Structure 1
Amino acid sequence: MGDGASEGKRELVERLQELELRQVRMFARSRSLPLLSTTLTIQQLKVLVVLSIDGDMPTHELAERVGTGVATLTGIVDRLAARTLVYRREDPSDRRVRRVDLTDEGYALIGDLWGVGQQRNRAALSTLDIDTLRALAKGLEALCDALEKTADTSESPEEP
């Protein structure tokens, strides 16, 4: 790729990153009220988010994903269970293992936290014409594919 094309690509990547940050800021504003009104700790929110994305899992795996020890996680899960946001159960294949999952109330809370931004995004998308929506869908599909490919590699992607 020539220097002009490389420079053009670099500028486009920078522009897309600026637009992504702008979008994140707008979503953060629209999502902030439910998030700011919660009395959950950051660690508790992390547990809820991990479970909402990956579903039920053994406590040792959840502790690793959240970045804490199993003993610390036990206290976090105890407090979330007391609020009926998560529940524990035995692993059917190994009774020594305890699994943790969200309750319906836990899923509802996560839905409330994410829902505000999704509603705003849907409203904004509905104002766009069909050609713009098709182009946006094509671009986002390509970005998702690239993110999936780079997530599988431990190396950081090359600069454009």
Structure 2
Amino acid sequence: MDEKEQLIARIAVAQRGLGRVFGAARWNPLMSLNLTIRQLKVLLTLVQRGSSSGHELTQEMGVSLATVTGVVDRLAAQGLVVRREDPADRRVRRLEPTEKATKLVTSIMDAGNAQYRELLSRLEVEELQALDRVVHRLAELAAEQSPAAD
């Protein structure tokens, strides 16, 4: 393994370690959720998009409409998703996150950001400047790779 590959491997191990620390925090809202991974994926997708049809979710998640319907039923029972008629096509039901869902997703994101910011505050200015350059470069590379960039 050459030096570049060794560095990539070390960085990946360190990032997994950070993920374990962030994920294991008892105050993390993820730890108190009563959602499956699939339900959480649907919820995150809906909060990001604002709304979606069941058909769009089946394509996004690569599952059947029956699976999406079951997941959405359970999310709706928890007050996290509502179904609405599509104003452009009355045959289509739009799925929308509730305010409760949006607050939940925001709290998950904010909790991780707060812990990350606390760690960053312990770095020296020079370390933060180097990290800033690297993170912005990674964001550029990710944007180039993203289907949205096409």
Q: Give the TM-score range, shorter chain.
A: 0.7 to 0.9
Does the CA contact (< 8 Å) of 1:30 and 1:117 recur in 2?
no
Distance of 1:48 and 1:83 partners within structure 2: 12
RMSD after superposition:
2.2
- Aligned residue type for 1:72: T
Larger Rg: 1
Overall identity of the aligned pairs, in %: 39
How do 1:125-144 and structure 2 match up within 5 A?
125-144=120-139
Distance of 1:41 and 1:58 partners within structure 2: 20
Question: How far apart are 1:105 and its partner, in Å?
Answer: 0.0
TM-score (norm 1): 0.78
Whether 2:107 is the aligned partner of 1:112: answer yes
The residue that corresponds to 1:17 in the other structure is: 12
Q: Which protein, 1 or 2, shows the higher relative CO under an 8 Å CA cutoff with sep ≥ 6?
A: 1
The residue that corresponds to 1:46 in the other structure is: 41
Question: How far apart are 1:32 and its partner, in Å?
Answer: 7.6
Whether 2:93 is the aligned partner of 1:93: answer no
Whether 2:22 is the aligned partner of 1:27: answer yes
The residue that corresponds to 1:68 in the other structure is: 63
What is the count of residue pairs matched by the alignment? Answer: 147
Distance of 2:134 and 2:103 partners within structure 1: 31
